[in-house]
Amino acid sequence: MHTIENEELRVMISNHGAELSGIFDKRNNREVLWNADPKYWKRHAPVLFPNVGRLYEDTCLIGGETYTSGQHGFARDMEFTCVEEAETSVTHLLEATDATKKAWPYEFQLYITHTLNGRDLTVTWKVVNKDQETMYFTIGAHPAFNVPVLPDTVQSQYHLTFSGQKELTYCLLHPEYATAMPDQPHTLSLENGTCLIDEHMFDEGALIFDDRQITKAGIALPDGTPYVEVSCEGFPNFGIWSAIGAPFVCLEPWMGRCDNTGYDKELSQKPNINTLKPKEVFDRSYVISVK
């Protein structure tokens, strides 16, 4: 476990999955990130790579060959190497192995850097194509934030906050395949860019927002004051999820997402797939701001 901190925040990052494992707000004397209690969900903020969510029937076609990969890919369950550490930043590296190539056949490097600046934590993903072939992948974040964070409050008193929209459109996951059903859209109505976290909001699983609708999402206290925000300008997809009855909410910026239900084409043809030619580098960041 690695610690980076300043006068505002103390942040913990594990070598396992290069997973963000704690964000302690010194000013307000509270932990912002979920504690990974396995009663509800055993993770804090896993990185989703090389696939976000589920592939349809857990398989994908790459160059006519069928590969099998579990939900959210393999990176979250692997040991990364810490390659650089300073007082306010740490960088981890994951490289291809024989085991990763059975699920996704590429030579790659994945660097994950956490950088602290004031009350902002920037998470940067750098994917390097070390292969001779063009590489296709999705990558996403899955941070879970404590809701509630104040004593004597309940989750349904808290608000989701967005960037001033009047409504957002989302889809849900197929109950059997856990893949998206975009042909059955739903509407999330907002008032002044916010909505209460309804106790039944996640009864059918994650809410999936496509088409670059969300560039910033946050969680606000019962009085409407935001206490955490995730900024992800230019990300095409976003997920919001919690386990039923759990005291956390995940705000998930994604570069690409799970398959649509029934998808059986080449991975290269998947909507919002990231394409990386040999020797090219993919570089994206999102920011967690503690208010």
Residue-range domain boundaries for the chain: 2-290
How many Cα atoms are found within 13 Å in the side-chain-facing hemisphere of 99? 8
> Does the pLDDT of residue 108 top 90, yes or no?
yes
Q: What is the mean pLDDT of residues 79-108?
A: 97
Tell me the per-residue pLDDT of 144-200, one tens digit each, with 9 for 90 and over: 999 999 999 999 999 999 988 899 999 999 999 999 999 999 999 999 999 999 999
pLDDT of the residue at 93: 98
- What is the chain's mean pLDDT, rounded? 96
Q: What is the mean pLDDT of residues 239-252?
A: 97
The pTM (predicted TM-score) of the whole model is 0.96
Contact 186, 171 (CB under 8 A): yes
Cα 7 to the center of its chain, rounded Å: 26
pLDDT of the residue at 165: 87
> Does the pLDDT of residue 271 top 90, yes or no?
yes
Can you point out the beta strands (E) in 16-107?
20-25, 30-31, 47-48, 59-62, 65-68, 81-85, 89-95
> Does the pLDDT of residue 263 top 90, yes or no?
yes
At 241, is the pLDDT very low, low, confident or very high (cuts 50, 70, 90)?
very high
Task: Output b/e per residue, 142-175; b: 16+ Cβ within 10 A.
Answer: bbbbbbbbbeeeebeebbbbbeeeeebebbbbbe
Please enumerate in sequence order all residues whose Cβ is within 8 A of that of 39, keeping only pairs 6 or more positions apart, or say none.
none
Class of the domain covering 2-290: mainly beta
Contact 86, 75 (CB under 8 A): no
